[in-house]
Amino acid sequence: MSSWKTLSRRILLSHSKYLTVEEHSVELPDGRVIDNWPWIITPDFVNVVPVTSDNHFLLFRQEKYAIDGLSLAPVGGYLEAGEEPLHAAQRELLEEMGCAADEWVHLGSFKAGANRGIATGHLYLALGAQRVAEPDSDDLEEQERLCLSEREVEDALLNKEFKLVPWAANVGLALLALRRRR
C-alpha cells in the first residue's frame, strides 16, 4: 500500500501551544488530490499506570472538562518542548503522585487521530512505584488519589470507568503486560 502525500499546508489557527489547525492539500495513492484537508496539532502526551511493589495500582478519580461525570484515570500529561517521552512520564509520576518507579515498561506510542493528526500518546507501565516526595501537580481539576487492587482495576476497566480511550488502552495494556510477565 502507498501512503498519502502532503503537497502543501497552511496554518488556519495558531491558538496556543495546545492547538494549531492547518489546512493541507494531500495526494492519495491513486493520484487524486484533496484540497482543504483539516489537520489538528496538539501536544504529544504520556500516560502512566504506576504499580507498587505489592501490586496496587495508583490511579486518580477526577473530572475533566470534556468528560461527563467522574472518570478513573492514570497519571498523565503533555511533553514539554524537546522532552523525551520517558522523561515526561517520570516527571508526571513525580509531579502528580510524588512517586518514582524502579522499572519502566514502554507499552507503545499511538496516534490519537487516524486522519486528522492530533497527537501521539506514549503509554507506560511503572513498576515498583513508591512515594518519594509530596505531589506538586499544576493540574486544574481536583484529583482523588486511589490505590486499587488488580481485580478492582480490571472491574473498573470492564465497567467503562476509564472514560477516555488512551486511559482505557493504557490500563488494558498494563494489565496484559503484567499477565505476560507472570
pLDDT tens digits, residue range 18-64?
A: 999 999 999 999 999 999 999 999 999 999 999 999 999 999 999 98
**pTM of this structure:** 0.93
- The secondary structure of 18-80 as a DSSP string is TEEEEEEEEE-TTS-EEEEEEEEE---EEEEEEE-TTS-EEEEEEE-TTSSSEEEE-EEEEPP
Are 62 and 143 a contacting pair, CB within 8 Å?
A: yes
What fold does the segment set 45-181 form as a domain?
Nucleoside Triphosphate Pyrophosphohydrolase (3.90.79)
pLDDT at 16: 92
154-157: long-range contacts (C-beta < 8 A, 24 or more apart)? 156/72
pLDDT at 34: 96
For β-strands 120-127 and 45-51, DSSP reports them as parallel
pLDDT at 90: 98
Going by pLDDT thresholds of 50, 70 and 90, the confidence category of residue 12 is: very high
pLDDT tens digits, residue range 140-171?
A: 678 899 999 999 999 999 999 999 999 999 99
The amino acid present at 50, given as its one-letter code, is P
Are 61 and 146 a contacting pair, CB within 8 Å?
A: yes
| Element housing 115 (H / E) | none
Task: State yes or no: pLDDT of 9 exceeds 80.
Answer: yes
